[in-house]
Amino acid sequence: MNRLWLRSSVLLLCLAQFVTTSKFARADDAPGEKLLPKDTLAFFTISHVPEFRQKCDKSSIGQMLHDPQLKPFLDDVQKKIDEASKGMENETGVTIADLMELPQGELTIALLEKPARKLSFVFMLEFGKNKATVEKLLKKMDEALEKEQSDHTTEEINKITVHVYTPKNPEPDSPFKMLTYFTDESILVFSSEVEALKEVIERWEGDSDDTLAQNDQFKYIQSQCKLESGEPLVKWYVNPIGLIQSGITMAQATIPQAGLAAAFLPMFGVDGWKGWGGTMDFDEGEFEGVSNSFIYAENPKGLMGVFLFPATELVPPKWVPANIGSYWAANWNIGGAYTSIETLVDSFQGRGATGRFLDQLAEQGPMIHAKKDIIDHLDGKIHVLQSETNDGDDDAPPTPQVMAAFGLKDGAKMKKTLAAAAKSAASNLETREFNGETIYELITPNSDQSVSLTVTEGQLVITNDTPLLEGVMRGQSGNRAALIDSSEYKRISKYFPSKTSMVSFQRSEAQFKTYYNLLRKSDNFWDGVDVSKLPPFEAISKYFQPSGSYTIPDKKGAKSVTYSLKRSE
């Protein structure tokens, strides 16, 4: 695809709105999911873009962008945007502001396998009364396509005039073999395939029974992710197994052997992953923002059986400090995960193959048996902590300080396993005693970074944050505030169900601070933008609110909820 065709494609995809004389009327307010077929592979929609922008503007980050202390920096940024806008106006006849105002209702993007063995996208946009902008874009697009010498034809489908642009000499590996569109009043629909547009036109009156809205997995996911206040602003959906199967089908056109992969899908359990989707909105009750998602996977087996997290009571242990940047906990069915992997491997290698391999491996080196000496001693509880990210060197990226703790059934047995492993370890492993326990520290060659391992507080701990580890081992958690007792965590965790598969707490200002400070020190951010005008991070830290999330199992999969609360003045 040459440059002119690419520019024309992008213009049509992202900006162009076309006005025709079609009288084919869409059912009033029929949402995108009622205009797409049941077998839609991927779907994303914003029900009303202006409302979405308004809610974003009222959020904490939106308010931050209006903070007077950021104004000098943002004024520089605006000048650069104005320069780019003038260039765009000279080229297309419209400004960046005009383009931002184009969406005046719903915006929907979808992925289909239409026609067979071809992926196609569908883009639907309500552009309202922006006819003047549309006409300018149409004129520029026509000029670009004329230079490209693309064929322009029309086709009547159910009394709808569909416009089709086809490049005369498309590149063989180009995903765009054509661009096609139709309009109805103030709505644009376009696609990369005529067959995909036919699917939409056939459902344009909104009364078809064969729509995504009637897809069983889509319906269930949306029912689990609905909001108390009504319809969410954002919906999304993916058919994972459908995408995989479509990919295999299309690959067969050039690689016939690819079809063999389909036979392994049930064995790996991937065929059970029939849906994944969710919703998102802002200003929802006490939440500033809330996102719901659901993985639809009935009776997980094969590799899917590795990802089983039963619900239990998950709370931060007292040794987790209150000033931590983020905290995540999960209850993993590690025994079930091992059985799933063992069953899968044995199905290829023969019954008992996994066990024999581990037995042989245990006869080498430190004589440690992966299952008997490690897996069987883990209780499935996992705690992951991340402290504030270090700034690092000028040439090195920031290094996150992380500690992972794995709950143990028998700490004494795990200590023996670590001691045995240390005897045959590399020379860069150092052993030292600390507060009555042994710390094994692996020093990274040519670096001051290290990874420490130990057994403490009934946990197998692995970390690159040795000071945090030593604080836990000193029992400092009894002398300093614990996360579970902090007001911020209590405010977030009160929305957690009593039993969960996973929970998390994030203090976003701790995570963002390092990257903000790196930006302030940058000397090549954007020519003409003075980053020294940015205020100290403390001036804007109040806009970054803590957030939380939790996951709970369901008979048909698992539901996750992520949210942040409204800023308290």
pLDDT reported for residue 509: 86
The structure's pTM equals 0.88
Distance CA 247, CA 261 (A): 10
Q: Classify the phi-psi angles of 557: left when phi > 0, otherwise alpha if psi is within -120 to 50, otherwise beta.
A: left
- Residue corresponding to tokens 């980050």: 61
Burial of 250 (0-12, 13-18, 19+ CB in 10 A): middle
Q: Which helix (H) or strand (E) holds 175?
A: none
Distance CA 94, CA 136 (A): 7
Q: Classify the phi-psi angles of 285: left when phi > 0, otherwise alpha if psi is within -120 to 50, otherwise beta.
A: left
pLDDT reported for residue 142: 75
Query: Collapsing DSSP states into helix, strand and coil, what is residue 563?
Result: strand
| Listed residue (13, 562, 516) closest to 289, CA to CA | 562
Mean pLDDT by 10 residues, the chain (569 residues): 40 37 51 95 96 92 93 94 91 88 93 91 90 77 78 90 84 74 84 94 91 97 90 95 89 77 80 93 91 91 86 94 93 94 90 94 89 95 85 61 94 92 78 91 76 93 91 69 92 96 93 86 85 93 93 95 85
98 touches 104 (CB < 8 A): no
Q: Please give the full DSSP string across 318-375, using - where no structure is assigned.
A: TTSBTT-SEEEEEE--HHHHHHHHHHHHHHHH-TTHHHHHHHHHHTSTT---IIIIIG
User: Token pair for residue 356?
Assistant: 């024999």
Query: Collapsing DSSP states into helix, strand and coil, what is residue 24?
Result: coil
- Asked whether the CA dihedral 82, 85, 86, 87 is positive or negative, the reply is positive
Helix ranges, 28-130 (H): 49-58, 60-64, 71-92, 96-100
Q: In sequence order, which residues have a C-beta less than 8 Å from that of residue 82 and are 6 or more positions away?
A: none
Query: Dihedrals φ, ψ of 288, to 5°?
Result: -70, -40
Query: Collapsing DSSP states into helix, strand and coil, what is residue 305?
Result: helix
User: HSE (CB half, 13 Å, CA atoms) of 433?
Assistant: 2
pLDDT reported for residue 19: 33
How distant, in Å, are the alpha carbons of 282, 361, 367, 545 from that of 370? Answer: 47, 8, 10, 42
pLDDT reported for residue 426: 65
| Listed residue (199, 221, 223) closest to 211, CA to CA | 199
Q: Which helix (H) or strand (E) holds 13?
A: helix 3-14
User: HSE (CB half, 13 Å, CA atoms) of 80?
Assistant: 10
- Asked whether the CA dihedral 71, 73, 78, 79 is positive or negative, the reply is positive
| Listed residue (370, 295, 381) closest to 333, CA to CA | 381
237 touches 296 (CB < 8 A): no
C-beta atoms surrounding 228 within 10 Å: 6
C-beta atoms surrounding 12 within 10 Å: 24
pLDDT reported for residue 231: 87
pLDDT reported for residue 173: 67
Distance CA 109, CA 129 (A): 21
